[in-house]
Structure 1
Amino acid sequence: MEAKNVYERLRSDFITEETHDDWSFMTLNEFVCDEFKQQHNGLVYDNSRVIKRVFIVTFPDEALIETIINNNSDILIFSHHPMIWSSLKSGIPFVDIPVRLVSLMKEKRISFFVLHSPLDVYGEYSTSLGFMQALRMKYAGNFFQYKNESIGVIAATEYTTTASLSDYIASRVGHPLKLFSYGDAEITGGKIGIVAGGGNVPEALEALKECGINTYVTGVTKIFEGFKPSADFHEIAKKYSINIIGATHYSTEKWACMNMLDYFRKIGLGCVFMPGKPDMNDL
């Protein structure tokens, strides 16, 4: 398929003015398209005239990108994030894709397209909805607005305590979680709030409090040095007696990327999801 047609279809289906993002801390070098420099979403590296296949990643981890590059050409790498997640980094926990790999992508005619906020906002392929579906829970509403778009989902659960819910989620993602018991162990009203990925922001809990819900599930719960909202997040949770369950950035957002397999197949492109690894330092 012609690359320009793939890009235009993705833009048309996902990108709006409300989903413009902020990756100003990324190195916007000569390889980066003007489109991404302006919107911080969409086409990052435009290296292909024809797209033979799509490789989907949650994060452009160095090892994953290198594996893809070494074995392919005339392809598209689709990612939820334009940068590599690095939870041990102080401040904003992201690092650039190494320039040597970006240069190889150009040589091998490999383009790179990113949808970050367009997948975070509520919709068919959204991260929070995808995680809720992976947990086999029923949709019960939305909460937490970002630029007039809903981010979080409210899910109905049959689990009555935070401990039993945490054990169940751990069985679905395949690794231990972290439970912060800041409130009543009984789940209020059989409902929980979910924001996949980096939902460790105070505004999400402020919104959840208005819904009368006392249990919040997200990906990242770590307090990052140099990122005050991550510390304020826990203080707000304590203030409002909201329990927090952390399941890692990757394990809460990979489901949306896996769901994108269906999207690309529907538009006639072969595709494969490249699994990454959860970072337990997120918790």
Structure 2
Amino acid sequence: MAQLQKIDEAIDELFRYREIGADPAFSRFIPMVYDPIKFNWREVFEAQFNQLFNGLMLKGEEEVGRIFLAVFPTEEVLAHFIEHSNPGDLLFMHHPLVMECGDPRGAWGKGFIPINPDLISQIKEKRLSVFTLHVPLDYSRTISTSDAMAEAYGAKVVAEFFKDEKGACGVICEIPAANTEDLIEKSKSIFQIPYADVEGQSHSSITKVAIAAGCGDKVYAMQEAEKLGAQAYITGEIHCHIDNVYGKKKFDEMKKYCKTTTMSLIGVSHAASEYLVHATQLKPWFEEQFKLPVTLIPQDEWWV
């Protein structure tokens, strides 16, 4: 067993989430999805989470016996956590909301979706804990979403991009020479996806790539990577397939950019790109730090 407070302290020491402050994305998106359904999230979620939108979201018993790792709080993920956990167990995720990003060969997604309040009630009734860490897990160069991807490609990180004043979400990497098709096939194998979202130019020899986990579908970030010499850009999604005005605007912007870029653009799904850090870096870190069993909860489908 480990103390919940000690786990929180160790996470904060490594990822500095209190120092980084309020998450720029979820400080907007949590009110955006919960207020319209009149769910009293300010009362249900932990007070500090409601200020930072990272950290301990739901607090159960103080003694933790097992840690579960997932990306999004989908119904399948939360049902698995509730069924296979004991009071006090902890679910650590990258996102506090479900995000349907859409399938490049299937249905478009709905964007951000609130957690079913009934599942939140079941988690609280069972005295389980939920902890989420968004941008601090992107910014860290010790354990991070994009660095885990670089590691899987056998890449050497040589620079950062896609930055703000508090950190960088993307890395520029050198890799052993590969052509575009090689990178696509390697991506499918690494992330266990049936197909990738592919745009841009094909190259016979790529030695420098840009990697940005999750929503790397930002034209300005891609332009920055291109100026830094990247021949390929690997991210969670190339196109936004969210079925609303925002999603369609972004899709049109990216289609226009794809006609001009010199890079090979490869999308591996938002969820799969961010699951990798849980499987390859966070799991061994939690096991070593706390001597607890750690259970991974992958999604049944990565393109949703």
Q: Which residue of 1 aligns with 2:57?
A: 44
Q: Which residue of 2 aligns with 1:35?
A: 48
Conserved 8 A contact 1:217-1:246: yes
Give 3-state SS (helix, strand or coil) of 2:121's partner. Answer: helix
Query: Does residue 60 of structure 1 match 2:62?
Result: no
Q: Which amino acid aligns with 1:96?
A: P
Judged with a 3 Å threshold, the aligned counterparts in structure 2 of structure 1 residues 152 and 187 are, in CA distance, closer, same or farther, namely: farther
State which of 230, 239, 246 in structure 2 corresponds to 1:222. Answer: 239
Q: Which residue of 2 aligns with 1:200?
A: 217
1:38 deviates by 1.0
Q: Which residue of 2 aligns with 1:171?
A: 189
Q: Which residue of 2 aligns with 1:277?
A: 300
TM-score, length basis structure 1: 0.89
Q: Which residue of 1 aligns with 2:287?
A: 265
Moved over 4 A (4+): 88-92
Q: Which residue of 1 aligns with 2:257?
A: 236
Conserved 8 A contact 1:201-1:232: no
Judged with a 3 Å threshold, the aligned counterparts in structure 2 of structure 1 residues 2 and 171 are, in CA distance, closer, same or farther, namely: closer
Structure 2 gaps of 5+ residues are 35-40
Larger mean Cα displacement after TM superposition, 70-79 or 146-155: 146-155
The separation in 1 between residues aligned to 2:135 and 2:291, in whole angstroms, is 23
Identity of aligned residues (%): 25
1:19 deviates by 5.7
Query: Does residue 75 of structure 1 match 2:89?
Result: yes
1:48 deviates by 2.1
Q: Which residue of 2 aligns with 1:120?
A: 138
Larger mean Cα displacement after TM superposition, 32-41 or 145-154: 145-154
Q: Which residue of 1 aligns with 2:29?
A: 25
Q: Which amino acid aligns with 2:151?
A: Q
Q: Which residue of 1 aligns with 2:9?
A: 8
Q: CA RMSD in A?
A: 2.3
1:92 deviates by 6.8
Q: Deviations over 1:22-43 (max 9, x none)?
A: 2122223421112121111111
Q: Which residue of 1 aligns with 2:271?
A: 250
Conserved 8 A contact 2:146-2:212: yes
Q: How many residues align?
A: 280
Q: Which residue of 2 aligns with 1:93?
A: 111
The separation in 1 between residues aligned to 2:199 and 2:289, in whole angstroms, is 45
Structure 1 gaps of 5+ residues are none
Conserved 8 A contact 2:197-2:268: no
Q: Deviations over 1:170-219 (max 9, x none)?
A: 2222333335342353455x111110111111221122022022311111
The separation in 1 between residues aligned to 2:267 and 2:42, in whole angstroms, is 34
Give 3-state SS (helix, strand or coil) of 1:239's partner. Answer: coil
Judged with a 3 Å threshold, the aligned counterparts in structure 2 of structure 1 residues 230 and 33 are, in CA distance, closer, same or farther, namely: farther
Judged with a 3 Å threshold, the aligned counterparts in structure 2 of structure 1 residues 41 and 134 are, in CA distance, closer, same or farther, namely: same
The separation in 2 between residues aligned to 1:68 and 1:220, in whole angstroms, is 27
Query: Does residue 132 of structure 1 match 2:150?
Result: yes
Q: Which residue of 1 aligns with 2:122?
A: 104
Give 3-state SS (helix, strand or coil) of 2:200's partner. Answer: coil
The separation in 2 between residues aligned to 1:184 and 1:55, in whole angstroms, is 39
TM-score, length basis structure 2: 0.83
1:236 deviates by 2.9
